Amino acid sequence: MKIVFFGTSEFGVIILEKLVQAHLMPVLVVTTPDKPAGRKQALTPPPVKLFAKTQGLEVFQPAKLDQAAIRFVQEKNPNLFVIAAYGKILPKALLNIPQKGSLNVHPSLLPKYRGSSPVQAVLLNGDEETGVSIIVLDEDMDHGPIVAVERFGIQKKYVYPELHNALAELGGDLLIRTIPLWIEGKIQTQAQDDSKATYASHITKEDGKIDWNKEAGYIERQVRALYPWPGTFTTGEIDGKQRIMKILKASVMSQDRPIGKPGQAFPPPLPGIAVQTRKDALLLEELQLEGGKPMSSKEFLLGHKNFIGTNLK
């Protein structure tokens, strides 16, 4: 079995690790080029490359999937591609290489939440169930026929990294069970119902800005879905200056009637900070001023005694 693996992020790392543990060692790992990161813009390798190197796997980092890149992959004579959060569309000429096709591991119950941010979408929408789909990759985004599905009940208030890792583990285990059956021709695929397709668009920094005119329940989910990046944030006049505040952890405080206008900070029954929303209030449990360190709302009030009454935007 000659597998070529395509992946970039931590999701890909977990899937690749499952392949290695099952002794399905790829003959090549294709990932994205190193990119500048951090304040010093130091050239940083993608997580998949770092893990692959620890396993002695050959790594290929093409800037483009052009003819030269396709020829390089073809020379490995693979009979199966495995793709896990690679982040690029594979051209038809590349997809035509492996005799057994290309299996893509996607963290949602396709055709629901096609696109680049299905895990965040599940949390933002408050879904009670999600899962992992393995599909035959084609030229369209998350469009190919379904090979295998594993469902996952959401039993607690996950933050993004927790649910992301749980689905990656689930997807890796499903992949290991699926590959032998797929190679032996024992799986009949099922076409996706395109009429039921929904899309989870790319997350940007602006998606983290809080709209206090939304319900507290939605904002609490936003905090969990967008942690740690881009994070959720708000602005307000603090210590006489307009400053950005990140909300790292929050919960919903039910109300019979509102206290003030949406965005207004007020004291909850227990020490801390609550902010009025369109429906119910948001309890700020952990926050961080731009340039500062994370702290509880009680700690924050010790140094910002006049914060109560602030109108956040």
How far apart CA 121 and CA 106 sit, in angstroms, is 13
In a domain, 309, yes or no: no
What's the pLDDT score for residue 39? Answer: 75
State the pLDDT confidence band at 299, using cuts at 50, 70 and 90: very high
Pair 223, 190 in one domain: no
Average of per-residue pLDDT values in the chain: 95
Pair 86, 196 in one domain: yes
In a domain, 62, yes or no: yes
How far apart CA 149 and CA 15 sit, in angstroms, is 15
- 269 burial (CB, 10 Å; 0-12 / 13-18 / 19+) is exposed
pLDDT in tens, 156-197: 999 999 999 999 999 999 999 999 999 999 999 999 999 999
How far apart CA 187 and CA 298 sit, in angstroms, is 56
- Span between the terminal Cα atoms of the chain, in Å: 56
Residue 274 has pLDDT above 80, yes or no: yes
> Under a CB-based contact definition with an 8 Å cutoff, are residues 219 and 249 in contact?
no
> Under a CB-based contact definition with an 8 Å cutoff, are residues 26 and 19 in contact?
yes
The residue with tokens 């290309």 is 102
> Under a CB-based contact definition with an 8 Å cutoff, are residues 98 and 143 in contact?
no
User: What tokens appear for 20 in the block?
Assistant: 């290695």
Pair 154, 275 in one domain: no
pLDDT in tens, 197-225: 999 989 999 999 999 999 999 999 999 99
In a domain, 56, yes or no: yes
CA distances from 166 to 84, 119, 129, 132 (A): 14, 11, 13, 10
pLDDT in tens, 60-117: 999 999 999 999 999 999 999 999 999 899 999 999 999 999 999 999 999 999 999 9
What's the pLDDT score for residue 239? Answer: 84
Pair 237, 123 in one domain: no
CA distances from 293 to 46, 180, 288 (A): 27, 49, 6
In a domain, 310, yes or no: no
CA distances from 130 to 121, 152, 297 (A): 10, 5, 33
Residue 237: CATH number of its domain: 3.10.25.10
Residue 18: CATH number of its domain: 3.40.50.170
Residue 80, domain extent = 3-200
What is the value of pTM for the model shown?
0.94
Pair 190, 209 in one domain: no
Pair 76, 152 in one domain: yes
Pair 105, 221 in one domain: no
In a domain, 308, yes or no: no
Pair 134, 215 in one domain: no
Distance from CA of residue 302 to its chain's centroid?
Answer: 35
The residue with tokens 């890909």 is 12
Single out the residue in 152, 171, 200 at which a domain terminates.
200
State the pLDDT confidence band at 43, using cuts at 50, 70 and 90: confident
Q: Tell me phi and psi for residue 67, to 5 degrees.
A: -60, -40
Pair 196, 218 in one domain: no
Single out the residue in 200, 227, 244 at which a domain terminates.
200
How far apart CA 192 and CA 145 sit, in angstroms, is 6
User: What residues are paired with 261 via a beta bridge?
Assistant: none
Pair 193, 87 in one domain: yes
Single out the residue in 149, 167, 200 at which a domain terminates.
200
In a domain, 243, yes or no: yes
Pair 67, 180 in one domain: yes
- 188 burial (CB, 10 Å; 0-12 / 13-18 / 19+) is exposed
Pair 196, 216 in one domain: no
The total number of structural domains in the chain stands at 2
